[in-house]
Structure 1
């Protein structure tokens, strides 16, 4: 038992400054995500958008989900919730009432994601899990307002920290990459090495960096196999009890380059930033010493320099304090820590069971359906199936054919120019952001056919409101399907009409 404890402490101890660094990064991502989502308040979160509440609850709702954003279909209510989320994300950024800010940020993030799962991607799951585990982590001990207000006797003597939550945080990273590799169980990933070729054949997500390497099949094969082996092997470096700092830096460095490479070649939204943020908490003490000295000198404790001076005259907003005087606490501090650790350990084991059975690991009993409610309630459900088991190959582009009263046919997807079926110079540029790209991807699937009329009606209404001099009487949502073929063959695009609707008078 003693040896196990020694092993756990060697492997799962983290630097509190690294956790604080991750907190700042995560808070910045939340604010960025809110800013991007806020440009589509009506489209994605209101009853006049593409997913009204009655459609959400009928077709895309899990009975164990909770969502404050689903209490109203008004975009104005969504705006208020976005503002509240942004305020608490700023609190998290500066480390003000850090634990409260973490809990509220997680709650509002889950609420927002549950409101429209049709625009979610793998990075959203990871961001949600980082915030969940952070509820139980002291990531406000450094580089924060809370740290500047800490009493001198509470100054930390060591920056090392170990708990069940640090185990959960590190094992979450392990699960992300290991299960991703397990799910990529097709020859195009682990033997043929054609997966990256097919990924870069998708014009919907092809970035300039991807265009540069696309013509080189042997390079793509090497990068494909390297990706798969990296995801399969790199997580185990986190479990090595010797030279721990060295191996952690290997993990951080490799994953940093890995995700920067993804961002340069594929259009994945905030996915790469979230993954980079997730490993920031792994930075070892020597690296944090250098960062602390060279880059964050004004934040250092006990004399927190410029950061402390910024908040020196800042006083907490006026609040009403309710105090209950109890001579003996209801739960002692040691018991509270034990209960917290038991809860965290239980959820972590549950996440392991969920992930490994979902990845098809043999000799592990399948997680029963009647045991999945807890995962959906806490939103610790997760599936790291990016481009797995095979890469999506039904590539193409949308033509939104708007028919006017005078017989013209406009493409609403290209600012109303005359519609044609010629492939655009950049298919990716047709999407406002990655949320719309993901929505358009889900729009193609037959099991999501319920989405189609609402998107069509939304487009007609928005176009006619903004172009009263050139309204459309009918809209046809057309997908020019161009499947990805092997060996750089080019398929002949075929026209598939997914939906049609008319601008009927009220």
Structure 2
């Protein structure tokens, strides 16, 4: 006599009992505290404003107009796809760029305070991508990571806390767990993990000489950086610490609670050290913004406790103002039936999940191509920027700068920068050879190009020298460095001689 088949309800209960621990474990590791999402949104808004005002705005004419070093004609010749796609390439006038900068700044403020958050995130993403496409010579890995954060932010409830939109869907402090949260956390860890693999493929990093050598590439270093170059033992220890810390990056996903907090603080400490010593633009703070997403609820409970203990700080008053405005807003009226709305939401979630999976897979392929696991679809030079290599596997072994030689009508040659004698010696302060972080990015990127790419820059310098200058010659000077300092004599190479 056969036994009766089990009831469907019993099977469902058994499946639920098996899946519940899996859901709990995945939620703890791939979910994000709503307060972390709010802090992440605020950080993104601040970074957009700082990148725009502190870095891009001073170089508006120089790097984003037809009167600068990279006019639209050069963009169309070198990067025709970017020229066609960039909104900033519709005009070469400074006033048009100024309007676009102002719009981007206003939208970044909306993102900062959480007003029309998803729309502000999308518009910020489009304007930032357009700006970076207008002049790809003045961006670094931190800028492209910021772009990816804005993209993934479109699929996250960034208004979950501390926003004018109010986060009405997230009144409690339960973790938000979705394909979007999993995608951005995995994306962030992949950046660190593949960089660790690249460093294990590098003899200088494995021998402990990479960081001491990098600190003698003086054009990168400002603040405390120049004072640390002689402490070789400490820099060697920093080399090993960073390689070891990158190796633990998968534990940002695998660990929970206190262990994850310790890792977040360790990575954050390193990035603050980078900001205090190196000219890297917004990169260190972009990475710190990403690390906020990993902080567990207990860390945010501590933060809330500190805010309550210290009374109404300026930050607290702003939050209360935002909450008052939020709570006074009326709920939107439903325009569709509940059943129809549920079907639409399910369809949108499915489409969004598919997009996220495809984008994350594409980014992973890029990273795997960088470490040699799969074939690269682009050239090595393009891959270096796309894969967020960050001085790996081959840290720089030369320090470089430019010399502008001006020939006067009298036949005399002088340094176009200061009017003195032309000299190719190493500058006393190599960082001062580049006026800003944008000039540094531009100068380092232009090393890979030939005479044609230097013509717009030479024309730009001709416009800014004395009227009796007949021609400008741009020399690129390199000097080898190792972990003990400069090696050999500077070696100049003429890049272009341009008649003014």
TM-score, with length taken from structure 2 = 0.85
Q: Structure 1 residues 83, 471: closer, same or farther in 2, change over 3 A?
A: farther
> Which one of 306, 310, 318 corresponds to residue 294 of structure 1?
306
Q: Does 1:230 align with 2:274?
A: no
Deviation (angstroms), 1:437 = 0.3
Deviation (angstroms), 1:385 = 0.8
Q: Does 1:432 align with 2:435?
A: yes
Q: Which has the higher Rg, Structure 1 or Structure 2?
A: 2
Q: Does 1:34 align with 2:49?
A: no
Superposed CA offset, 1:17-71 (max 9, x none): 1111111111111111111211122221122222222221222344797211122
Residue number in structure 2 paired with 1:178:
193
Q: Structure 1 residues 472, 383: closer, same or farther in 2, change over 3 A?
A: same
Q: Does 1:285 align with 2:297?
A: yes
Deviation (angstroms), 1:193 = 1.3
For 2:86 and 2:298, the matched residues in 1 are separated by 42
- Give 1:1-16 correspondences, 5 Å limit: 2=19, 4-16=22-34
Residue number in structure 2 paired with 1:420:
423
Q: Structure 1 residues 295, 407: closer, same or farther in 2, change over 3 A?
A: farther
Residue number in structure 2 paired with 1:47:
66
Could you list the runs of 5+ residues in structure 1 that have no partner in the other structure? Answer: 316-320, 370-375, 465-469
> Which one of 202, 214, 220 corresponds to residue 199 of structure 1?
214
Superposed CA offset, 1:114-159 (max 9, x none): 1111111110111111111111010112111111xx66xx561234
TM-score, with length taken from structure 1 = 0.84
Residue number in structure 1 paired with 2:499:
502
Aligned 8 A contact 2:454 2:495 in 1: yes
Aligned 8 A contact 1:442 1:448 in 2: no
Q: Structure 1 residues 341, 300: closer, same or farther in 2, change over 3 A?
A: farther
When structure 1 is superposed on structure 2, of 338-347 and 179-188 the one drifting more is 338-347
For 2:159 and 2:198, the matched residues in 1 are separated by 36
For 1:359 and 1:218, the matched residues in 2 are separated by 29
For 2:334 and 2:83, the matched residues in 1 are separated by 34
For 1:179 and 1:65, the matched residues in 2 are separated by 32
Deviation (angstroms), 1:304 = 5.5
Q: Does 1:443 align with 2:461?
A: no
For 1:225 and 1:186, the matched residues in 2 are separated by 13
SS of aligned partner of 2:464: helix
Aligned residues: 468
Q: Structure 1 residues 61, 392: closer, same or farther in 2, change over 3 A?
A: farther
Aligned 8 A contact 2:446 2:453 in 1: yes
For 2:233 and 2:148, the matched residues in 1 are separated by 37
CA RMSD in angstroms comes to 3.0
Aligned 8 A contact 1:206 1:428 in 2: yes
Aligned 8 A contact 1:269 1:433 in 2: no
For 2:188 and 2:152, the matched residues in 1 are separated by 11
- Give 1:365-444 correspondences, 5 Å limit: 365-366=374-375, 382-407=386-411, 409-414=413-418, 416-444=419-447
Residue number in structure 1 paired with 2:232:
217
Q: Structure 1 residues 222, 65: closer, same or farther in 2, change over 3 A?
A: farther
Aligned 8 A contact 1:20 1:143 in 2: yes
Deviation (angstroms), 1:207 = 2.8
Residue number in structure 1 paired with 2:132:
113
> Which one of 247, 251, 271 corresponds to residue 283 of structure 2?
271
Superposed CA offset, 1:298-335 (max 9, x none): 6999x9634445778999xxxxx9x9966645952223
Q: Does 1:460 align with 2:462?
A: yes
Superposed CA offset, 1:434-481 (max 9, x none): 111011112222x454321111111111335xxxxx542211112332
For 1:451 and 1:314, the matched residues in 2 are separated by 54
Aligned 8 A contact 2:76 2:83 in 1: no
Could you list the runs of 5+ residues in structure 2 that have no partner in the other structure? Answer: 1-17
Q: Structure 1 residues 359, 61: closer, same or farther in 2, change over 3 A?
A: farther
> Which one of 184, 188, 201 corresponds to residue 169 of structure 1?
184
